[in-house]
Amino acid sequence: MVKNRVDIITLGCSKNLVDSEHLMRQFEAAGYEVRHDAEKVTGEIVVINTCGFIGDAKEESINMILNFVAAKAKKKIKKLYVMGCLSERFMTELAGEIPEVDKFYGKFDWNKLLDDLGKEYVPDLRLERILTTPSHYAYIKIAEGCNRMCSYCAIPIITGHYQSRPMEDIIEEIEMLVRKGVKEFQIIAQDLTYYGMDIYKKFCIAELVDRIASVPGVEWVRLHYAYPARFPYDLLPVMRKHANVCKYLDIALQHISDNMLRMMHRHVTKEETYELLSRIRKEVPGIHIRTTLMVGHPGEGESDFEELKEFVRKARFERMGAFAYSEEEGTYAAETYEDSIPQEVKQARLDELMDIQQGISAELSAEKIGKQMKVIIDRLEGDYYIGRTEFDSPEVDPEVLIDRSERELKIGQFYQVEVVNADDFDLYAKIINDYE
């Protein structure tokens, strides 16, 4: 156990990661040595930033807490603190069931942790972070909360109503990160497309992206988690206009049958969804769309699932993930519907859907063979440099592998490559030239 060392462990999404990075900077300012997701935890203080989204995530968070409760009992650590979404949602229950944790904090009050340690939160550092990602890219959280109230989703219960960050704050943060060498920005929110409605009384995501793309030194901007209903179409000309706005959009569609969209409270129809995808592809040629779909929501019959399979075949998403419905306490679905679809049926549907997508991904990857593309190098791993194109978000999307014997490459630099081979997801490429 190392005195004055804090180990921070982040579970869940990249929005949680941003919170951890801000907390790390405050700990550093308070005189602590801070580590993130260390292979071996050796600090006297451990902070776990939890996820509470679905059953598997909650289970992972609970198991992580219990592991460190055991470590504390063996005097391997001195203090254990828990923050984040699970803690926000079940603070009273967790405090009663796991009293060994020194204190639980929610999603928005983690700065009180510093007070409890006798340290001061420094407001002047509110935009500063210690990046846990490779130094060439960062996540930018533009809002918290969600107003959509989908039947199955606990996020609004956890994070409350939508809260946009002021545009000036976001731009200032990006300018600060550019000065530190960051060149790629992953723009994130539970719902990007609602940005601005609460503080500016209109959808402002197009204006925000336009301003971000105009900041000198911003080489790539990538957009995560759009919502299909009332989609702000003025975003598309901005994506088309700026070469540094990646032709990539993460838009969670969840389902396609009108029956399921209605039961899920998605406020969009099958016809509108197809029209939306068509318009996006028409207005932003070459765009890669990432989506997430759900199987096993209460009421999903065989005909609904058949429609969903047909949708995947027709839409030919460049990137697609899927998950099985998990009943979440307090949601409309949990209180109104019976979770009657057996787990084995949910899993079988999930497997079938992903099998279809795997074939599509393989075909789309093969179409890239012989094409030249711009990639950024993230890391060196074994015999390969691992890079990404503008169509690939870190950690969730395919990667580009370049044989390290070809030449020495610099991490965080852009290169022009030619794709020489492909498997179901990843591409293999050779270097053509450098980007200055």
> What pLDDT band is residue 161 in, cutting at 50, 70 and 90?
very high
376-387 tens-digit pLDDT: 999 999 999 999
Compare 75 and 307 and report the one with higher pLDDT.
Answer: 307
Mean pLDDT over each residue of the chain, to the nearest integer: 93
Q: What percent of the chain has pLDDT over 70?
A: 99
Domains, the chain, ordered by start = 2-125 (3.40.50.12160), 137-366 (3.80.30.20), 372-434 (2.40.50.140)
pLDDT tens track for 89-98: 888 888 898 9
Q: How confident is the model at residue 436 (pLDDT cuts 50, 70, 90)?
A: low
pTM for this one?
Answer: 0.93
Of 6-10, 39-43, 300-304, the poorest mean pLDDT is in 39-43
Q: Which of 39-53, 111-125, 248-262 has the highest average model confidence (pLDDT)?
A: 248-262
Helix (H), strand (E), coil (C) string for the chain:
CEEEEEEEEECCCHHHHHHHHHHHHHHHHCCCEEEECCCCCCEEEEEEEECCCCHHHHHHHHHHHHHHHHHHHCCCCCEEEEEEHHHHHHHHHHHHHCCCCCEECCCCCCCHHHHHCCCCCCHHHCCCCCCCCCCCEEEEECEECCCCCCCCCCHHHHHCCCEECCHHHHHHHHHHHHHCCCCEEEEECCCHHHCCCCCCCCCCHHHHHHHHHCCCCCCEEEEEEECCCCCCCCHHHHHHHCCCEEEEEEECCECCCHHHHHHCCCCCCHHHHHHHHHHHHHHCCCCEEEEEEEECCCCCCHHHHHHHHHHHHHHCCCEEEEEECCCCCCCHHHHHCCCCCCHHHHHHHHHHHHHHHHHHHHHHHHCCCCCEEEEEEEEEECCEEEEECCCCCCCCCCCEEEECCCCCCCCCCEEEEEEEEECCCCEEEEEEEECC
